[in-house]
Every structure is written in structure tokens, then in C-alpha cells.
Amino acid sequence: MGLATLWASFDPYLRPSVIGLMIFVVFNALIIASAILVLAERKIMGFMQQRYGPYLVGPHGMLQPIADILKLLFKEELRPKGADRWLFTLAPVISVVAAFAAFATVPFGAETTFFGLLDEPIKLGVSDVNVGVLVVFAVTSMGVYGIVLAGWSSNSKYSLMGGLRASAQMISYELAYATALASVVMLAGSLSLREVVDAQSGYWLGFIPRWYLFLQPLGFIIYVIAGVAETNRAPFDFPEAEQELVAGYNTEYSSVRFALFPQAEYINMVTMSAVATDLYLGGWHGPFLPPAYGWIWFLLKVGLILFAYIWVRWTVPRYRYDQLMQFGWKWLFPAAVLNLIATAALILYFNA
């Protein structure tokens, strides 16, 4: 085999480890995914508003993200006079680091040798820890500090309002989010994402896939709504509500420091969709394809959820702020708790 011999011909000390390669691939895939999402968002928005969207750079505007990135790179970096120097610099870094790190425990494929290219089968996924669900949850919840600190350190009232809203929104929706997660964890009996996915293999009655979507329809809806709120996307994009707060927490940011915030947002969307796929849509399990090609199913499902994300953004108007709080505390969280209790009761009943 060509690649395998090439691989073996490397000096063992210089040979990149499998985990190192995996980190490299996932890191770059996330960067590319955020670029594709920027384009997809503008294209789909254009389609929904009966226009073309970006069309001039490259065929059908396909190279628009590259033009955007170059433009942002060459812009001047500004810092407001009264801004807190350290925290102003640190905020976008926290945002983007948390976004990348959250994907570290998300598995995206079954064991594979890449059609015999590798000697030993590897599990697709950067790392497999036995508390993977919690790691994703913990690291994504760290991301809000980037937004809150950006809002506070800018020394601007619009930014401050955006940061305040981000922290309040995070506290309100994280509860429902975690409660929805807990129901799935109880069903699977494991906190490892890989084991949760493997618990969903096979079919009921021979044709209904054993996805937790069918056992937890309410949980899935709660998870997706809370996920949209967690990633600060419309209709829950209060931290940056343009009509009210100029651009919210990132009003005072420019150049690369600004670019890091939308990048973190898009990567968080990918992570949220990937975790939703792993938890509710059976991950890489699907019909027609052999297990080695499962990652194709995974990409398809993630793409579908991402499309829904963009679809919702351009069709649903933004909530009012008091409606957001009311919905989060009076509807979403109680529904999630009821779902958790009902799931626990049913598990006890059927396992007794």
C-alpha cells in the first residue's frame, strides 16, 4: 500500500503520531467549516430573499470567504481609549480557544483503517474520554467569558449591554441544555459520547433506526432551542442585536480580533450540530453505507442541522428580551425537567 509504506518509511521519531494528525485534521476542518458556513449563510440568505448573494469573487462567489478573510487581515486594529488593555486582548482569544477545544471529545466516525492504509484501526475523533459529554458542555460554557469580557473591557455602553445579555442568557439556557443532555445520558447509561452513539445502532422492527430522536423528541427540541441560544444565533442573538446595540459585544472590535468572534460562533455551531448528531441522530450509524463510511452519514446529518440553523436565522424574527427570559425560565426549563423525570420513570419501569 502506497501510503502505509510511506508512513512506515518515516523515522519513528519524526513520524507524526495518529493523535497529532487527528488534531491537525480536525483543527483545519473546523477552520474550513467556518469559512464554508460564512458563504453558505450568505448564499442561503440570498436564496431566501430571492437574490443571488455573493456572486463576484470566483465562480458563483465561491471564493468570497477568502476575500473576506484577507480584507479583515489587512484592516487596522483599533482599541478604544478607555478599554481595559489585557482583557480586551484576551476576550477574543478565550472565545476562539473554547470553540476549538470543545470539539476535542466529539467522535465523528466508527473505527476505520482508511481502506487498509493504516496498520491498526483508529477511532475517528480526537480523544475519547469517559466523561466526553461533560467536557463538551464545560468547555462550551467557558466560551461565554470571551463575549462577556469583550463587552465589559470595551468601555462602551452598547458592548456592556451585549456582555450583560450574554451572561444572563447563558445562565438561563444552560440549565435547560444540561437537563436535556442528562435525559440522553440516562438512556444510554454512559457519559462517553462514543458509547452514546453506539447505543443507537440497529433498528426497531427492522426499519426504524434506534435513534434517541424517537425516544426523546421533546429533549431534541429543547436541546436544539437551547443550542441556538447558547451559540447566540438568531432568534436569540441578543448579545449583538444590531437594531438595538449597534453590534453588541463586538462593537469596538476591528480586524482579526473582530474576525475571531464570528469564527468562534461558526465553530460553536458546528460543535453543537455534531453533538446533536451524536446524541440524538445516531451519529455515524445509517443505512446503505458500510460502517467504514459512517462519517459520510455524520457529515450529512451535521450539514442538515447547520442548514436548519441558517434557515431559522433568516425566517424567525428576534425575540424581545423579556420574552427570551420568560421562555427560558417558564417554558423551556420546566419542560426539560419534566422530560428528565418522565425519562427516569420510564427507564425504571422498563428495566425493573
Partner 1 sequence: MPDTILFYLLAGVAIIASALVIGQRNPMYSIMLLIASFGALSGLYITLDAPFVAMAQIIVYAGAIMVLFLFVVMLLNAPQEDAAEWDRAHPMRRPGFARFGALLAGLLIAELAWALMRASSLVETPVAGRGDAAALSSVRALGGVLFTYYVFAFEATSVLILVAMVGAVVLARREDDR
Using CB under 8 A as the criterion, which residues of the chain lie in contact with partner 1 when the complex forms?
84, 87, 129-131, 134-135, 137-139, 141-142, 144-145, 148-149, 151-153, 160, 163-164, 167-168, 170-171, 174, 178, 191
Q: How far is the CB of 133 from partner 1 (least distance, A)?
A: 9
Q: How far is the CB of 129 from partner 1 (least distance, A)?
A: 6
Q: How far apart are CA 316 and CA 323, in angstroms?
A: 14
Q: How far is the CB of 279 from partner 1 (least distance, A)?
A: 17
Q: How far is the CB of 275 from partner 1 (least distance, A)?
A: 15
CB-hemisphere CA count at 13 Å for 33? 24
What distances in angstroms separate CA 76 from CA 14, 72, 91, 159, 253, one per listed residue?
Answer: 40, 9, 18, 20, 10
Specify the DSSP element, H or E, that contains 234: none
> For the chain, what is the radius of gyration of the CA atoms?
21
Q: Which residue, 44 or 161, has its beta carbon nearer to partner 1?
A: 161
Q: Which residue, 166 or 335, has its beta carbon nearer to partner 1?
A: 166
Q: Which residue, 38 or 94, has its beta carbon nearer to partner 1?
A: 94
Q: List CB contacts of 326: < 8 A, sequence separation 6 or more.
A: none
User: Which candidate, 153, 141, 124, 151, places its Cα nearest to that of 181?
Assistant: 141
Q: Which residue, 110 or 126, has its beta carbon nearer to partner 1?
A: 126
Q: Three cell numbers at 294?
A: 459512517
Q: How far apart are CA 36 and CA 10, in angstroms?
A: 34
Q: How far is the CB of 340 from partner 1 (least distance, A)?
A: 14
Q: How far is the CB of 57 from partner 1 (least distance, A)?
A: 40
Q: How far apart are CA 42 and CA 52, in angstroms?
A: 9
Q: Which residue, 167 or 255, has its beta carbon nearer to partner 1?
A: 167
Q: Three cell numbers at 334?
A: 420546566
What distances in angstroms separate CA 345 from CA 34, 213, 352, one per listed residue?
Answer: 41, 18, 10
Q: How far is the CB of 271 from partner 1 (least distance, A)?
A: 16
Q: How far apart are CA 261 and CA 247, in angstroms?
A: 12
Q: Three cell numbers at 229?
A: 441560544
Q: How far apart are CA 222 and CA 304, in angstroms?
A: 18
β-pairing, 203-204 vs 122-124, is: unpaired
Q: How far is the CB of 300 from partner 1 (least distance, A)?
A: 30
Q: Which residue, 168 or 213, has its beta carbon nearer to partner 1?
A: 168
What distances in angstroms separate CA 132 from CA 21, 29, 338, one per listed residue?
Answer: 20, 20, 25
Q: How far is the CB of 195 from partner 1 (least distance, A)?
A: 12
Q: Which residue, 161 or 305, has its beta carbon nearer to partner 1?
A: 161
Q: Which residue, 259 or 340, has its beta carbon nearer to partner 1?
A: 340
Which residue matches cell numbers 482579526?
A: 256
Q: Which residue, 145 or 266, has its beta carbon nearer to partner 1?
A: 145
